[in-house]
């Protein structure tokens, strides 16, 4: 019989499902070393946000087939390490949406009416009505940052409370925002005009410290900010300073840069700040939902069936998967690449299946392309199951074309994304059985394997340009691993594709496009 270890408190409904197919050990509060010692006995690991599943734990889990995260964020799991070991990681993308949205709404109202401090004061035996005069949310402006599942529900309820809604989400269509009664604006305008700002975005390199000393300085002195998404999206020291100095009115935080929250100046602030210990998903209903959702997937995988919300491995039948696997990787890589070249909001994606891929069996490649395209916006929340729905909700039109006559490679895939900032295309193929190569970027032929960090330039093909770019990158201490130029005619327009050893420093694109002859530059992380 299979063995499952559950390392965080999980609702009994989930445990009951697991016991149908496995012997289940519930061991909460284990130290990392203790888990490493015993994980080798188990086929499945089930957690919430409390357990950090590191590479070390994954490597010690020699029998592990699946890690189940009873919640949305898988940022406490080393997903690449699990993928390398062929371990499926599953989550529950929607089980706690309402709970988290309601927590954010509760924070908005509690902050406006000083409920926690007023309650504590009465319990201390006081009757102080002057200190706790509040503010109404009716007719105030709420800025929703991230109009995904949770942000959408917050917007819907806030609308019903009579709030005016602004939203910032570069990956959402104007139509979708309008359906929710939100005016889609840029972040700067939202920051400047909102009375309340509520964050519902994933934590990514782009969103880390999105709220910092500069953005806080642009807010109204009466503004209040709520973070029930992820710690680290707000710079906590800058926030504490802004509140102390009365530069903004208040904040409510459910999530922190480091959890559990240790010594922090946030704790010393008064009624302007409300702190809760990551309770967004902590409702009875949400815990039942996520426990059932994830336990069912663990049960299915242990029975040899596919998982429905795998964040790292597609939920396809094993035969189809085996055949398409290398091409799925190609499609996802091209999706990520074209999404980053297009930048901004993508309105349509044209997927062209060429050569031997021009058959109906290749349909999963369209889904894999969308998964790659949406990764920038949704990170681990996008998977093979929800990619098409997420694209539809974002108003992305998907056009699928097939060309069996293309003969350059056995099979190749071309993606063209059109967005608010223009149109870009990429083509790729497999060399040998599974080596991915980019064969065309924006109509310029190249032949390079993709690497994690890349830089693409659009420039005029003229003497000296490669040297100037090389020196500029050198001055930023950027090491070039490989470089290739693609051009159609000599001294015409050309594309340069560079593989870089490390992430490119911020602001470098601004410097690159100052080099005479370079018209555009794009940094890409794959
Ligand atoms: N406090 C809790 O207990 C709790 C519970 C559930 C979820 N969460 C967190 O809440 C957040 C939102 O979850 P969700 O289920 O709504 O996710 P979601 O994927 O449905 O929505 C996220 C939205 O953020 C947008 N986005 C991505 N990058 C952005 C950027 N740079 N700027 C603006 N928008 C951007 C995406 O387009 C998407 O619409 C996640 O961080 C999740 O981990 C917290
Ligand atoms: O497990 C929890 O309670 C938190 C979950 C939440 O942060 C999530 O990402 O789903």
Please identify which of the residues 200, 224, 230, 352 carries the catalytic annotation.
Answer: 230
Helix axis angle, 363-378 relative to 318-342, nearest 10°? Answer: 50
> How far is Cα 429 from Cα 407, in angstroms, rounded to an integer?
11
Q: How far is the CA of 166 from the centre of ligand 1 (A)?
A: 16
Q: How far is the CA of 413 from the centre of ligand 1 (A)?
A: 30
Cβ(167) to ligand 1 under 6 A?
Answer: no
The answer to whether the bond into 260 is cis (omega within 30° of 0) is yes
Determine whether the shortest distance from the Cβ of 377 to ligand 1 is under 6 A.
yes
- Kind of pairing, strands 435-441 and 444-448? antiparallel
**CA 309 / ligand 2 centre spacing (Å):** 16
Atom of ligand 1 nearest to the CA of 233: 41
pLDDT at 319: 57
Q: Which atom of ligand 2 is nearest to the CA of 92?
A: 10
Q: Find the 26 Cα to ligand 2 centroid distance in Å.
A: 19
Q: What is the pLDDT of residue 87?
A: 86
To test the ligand 1 pocket, which listed residue (229, 282, 419) has its Cβ within 8 A of the most ligand atoms?
Answer: 229
User: Which atom of ligand 2 lies nearest, measured to the CA of 71?
Assistant: 10
Q: Would the CB of 374 count as within 6 Å of ligand 1? A: no
**Cα-flanking dihedrals φ and ψ of residue 281, to 5°?**
-95, 5
The pLDDT of residue 83 is 75
DSSP 324: H
Q: How many CB atoms lie within 10 A of CB 477?
A: 8
pLDDT in tens, the chain (526 residues): 999 999 999 999 999 999 999 999 999 999 999 999 999 999 999 999 999 999 999 999 999 999 999 999 998 999 888 877 778 899 999 999 999 999 999 999 999 999 999 999 999 999 999 999 999 999 999 999 999 999 999 999 999 999 999 999 988 888 899 999 999 999 999 999 999 999 999 998 899 999 999 999 999 999 999 999 999 999 999 999 999 999 999 999 999 999 999 999 999 999 999 999 999 999 999 999 999 999 999 999 998 787 888 887 654 554 566 678 789 999 999 999 999 999 889 999 999 999 989 987 787 899 899 999 999 888 877 777 678 878 988 899 999 999 998 777 889 999 999 998 899 999 999 988 789 999 999 999 999 999 999 999 999 999 999 999 999 999 999 999 999 999 988 888 999 999 999 899 888 999 999 999 999 999 999 9
Query: What's the CA-to-centroid distance between 183 and ligand 2, angstroms?
Result: 29
| 259 among known catalytic residues | yes
**Beta-sheet strands, E only, within 343-492:** 346-355, 397-403, 411-419, 422-431, 435-441, 444-448, 453-460, 480-487
With CA atoms as reference, report the closest residue to 183 among 217, 211, 214, 159.
159
Which of 96, 97, 104, 169 is the best mutation target for the ligand 1 pocket, counting ligand atoms within 8 Å of the beta carbon and taking the most? 169
- Residue 104: CB within 6 Å of ligand 1? no
What pairs with residue 436 in β-bridges?
A: 430
Please tell me the distance between residue 50's alpha carbon and the centre of ligand 2 in angstroms.
9
Residue 517, Cβ density class (10 Å: 0-12 exposed, 13-18 middle, ≥19 buried): middle
Per DSSP, helices labelled H in 195-317 are 213-218, 236-244, 284-302
3-state SS track over 298-321: HHHHHCCCCCCCECCCCCCCHHHH
pLDDT (0 to 100) of residue 255: 97
Establish whether residue 294 lines the binding site of ligand 2, counting it when its CB lies within 6 angstroms of any ligand atom. no
Tell me the CB-side half-sphere exposure of residue 500, using CA atoms within 13 A: 22
From 100, 148, 231, mutation site for ligand 2 pocket: most ligand atoms within 8 A of C-beta? 100
Residue 498 CA to ligand 2 center (angstroms) comes to 38
Residue 197, phi then psi, degrees to nearest 5? -125, 125
Given the residues 56, 59, 94, 259, select the one marked as catalytic.
259
ipTM of the complex, rounded to two decimals: 0.99
In sequence order, which residues have a C-beta less than 8 Å from that of residue 157 and are 6 or more positions away?
A: 101, 102, 105
**37 within ligand 1 shell (Cβ under 6 A):** no
Set 69, 153, 224, 278: catalytic member: 278
Q: Say yes or no: CB of residue 73 within 6 Å of ligand 2.
A: yes
For residue 230, the CA-to-ligand 1 centroid distance in Å is: 8
From the CA of 382, give the closest atom in ligand 1: 19
Nearby residues of 233 by Cβ (< 8 Å), 6 or more positions away? 199, 201, 203, 207, 208, 209, 210, 211, 227
Q: Is 437 in the pocket of ligand 1 (CB under 6 A)?
A: no
Query: Which ligand is located closest to the Cα atom of residue 180?
Result: 1
Which residue's CA is the closest to the ligand 2 atom numbered 2?
49
Tokens 């058959």 sit on residue: 359
511 is catalytic: no
State the ligand closest to the CA atom of 71: 2
Phi, psi (degrees; rounded to nearest 5) at 377: -90, -40
- If one counts every other C-beta atom within 10 angstroms of the C-beta of residue 476, the result is 12
Residue 171 near ligand 1, beta carbon < 6 Å = yes
Clarify whether 129 is annotated catalytic: no
**β-pair partners for 46:** 6, 68
């Amino acid at each position: 019989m299979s063995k499952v270890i559950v390392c965080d408190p999980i609702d009994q409904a989930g445990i009951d499902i697991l016991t149908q197919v496995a012997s289940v050990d519930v061991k909460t509060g284990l130290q990392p070393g203790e888990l490493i010692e015993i994980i080798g006995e188990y086929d499945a690991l089930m957690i919430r946000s409390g357990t950090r599943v590191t590479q070390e734990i994954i490597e010690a889990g020699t029998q592990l087939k699946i890690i189940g995260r009873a919640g949305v964020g898988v940022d406490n799991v080393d997903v690449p390490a699990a993928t390398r070991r062929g371990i499926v990681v599953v989550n529950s993308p929607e089980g706690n949406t309402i709970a988290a949205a309601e927590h954010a709404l509760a924070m908005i109202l509690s902050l406006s009416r000083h409920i926690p401090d007023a309650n504590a004061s009465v319990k201390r035996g006081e009757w102080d009505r002057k200190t706790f005069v509040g503010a109404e949310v009716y007719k105030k402006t709420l800025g929703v940052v991230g109009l995904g599942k949770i942000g959408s529900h917050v917007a819907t309820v806030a609308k019903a409370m009579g709030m005016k809604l602004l939203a910032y989400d570069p990956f959402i269509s104007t139509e979708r925002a309008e359906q929710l009664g939100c005016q889609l604006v840029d972040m700067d305008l939202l920051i400047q005009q909102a009375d309340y700002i509520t964050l519902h975005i994933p934590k990514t390199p782009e969103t880390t410290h999105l709220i910092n000393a500069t953005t806080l300085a642009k807010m109204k002195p009466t503004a209040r900010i709520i973070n029930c998404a992820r710690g680290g999206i707000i710079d906590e020291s800058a926030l504490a300073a802004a509140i102390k100095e009365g530069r903004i009115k208040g904040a409510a935080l459910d999530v922190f840069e480091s959890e559990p929250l240790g010594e922090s100046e946030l704790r010393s602030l008064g009624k302007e700040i409300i702190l809760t210990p990551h309770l967004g998903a902590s409702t009875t209903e949400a815990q039942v939902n996520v426990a059932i959702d994830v336990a069912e997937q663990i049960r299915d995988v242990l029975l040899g069936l596919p998982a429905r919300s795998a964040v790292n491995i597609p939920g396809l039948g094993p035969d189809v998967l085996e055949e398409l696997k290398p091409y799925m990787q190609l499609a996802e890589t091209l999706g990520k690449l074209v999404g980053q070249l297009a930048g901004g909001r993508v309105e349509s994606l044209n997927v062209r299946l060429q050569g031997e891929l021009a058959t109906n069996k290749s349909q999963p490649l369209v889904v894999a392309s969308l998964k790659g395209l949406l990764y920038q916006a949704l990170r681990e929340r996008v998977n093979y199951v929800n990619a098409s729905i997420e694209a539809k909700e974002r108003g992305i039109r998907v056009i699928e074309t097939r060309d069996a006559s293309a003969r350059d490679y056995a099979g190749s895939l071309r993606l063209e994304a059109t967005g608010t900032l223009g149109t870009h295309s990429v083509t790729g193929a497999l060399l040998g059985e599974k080596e991915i190569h980019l064969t065309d970027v924006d109509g310029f032929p190249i032949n390079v394997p993709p690497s994690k960090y890349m830089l693409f330039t659009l420039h005029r093909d003229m003497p000296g340009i490669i040297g100037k770019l090389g020196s500029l990158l050198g001055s930023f201490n950027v090491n070039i691993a490989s470089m290739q130029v693609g051009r159609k005619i000599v001294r015409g327009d050309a594309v340069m594709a560079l593989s870089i050893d490390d992430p490119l420093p911020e602001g470098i694109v601004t410097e690159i496009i100052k080099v005479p002859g370079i018209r555009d530059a794009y940094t890409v992380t794959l």
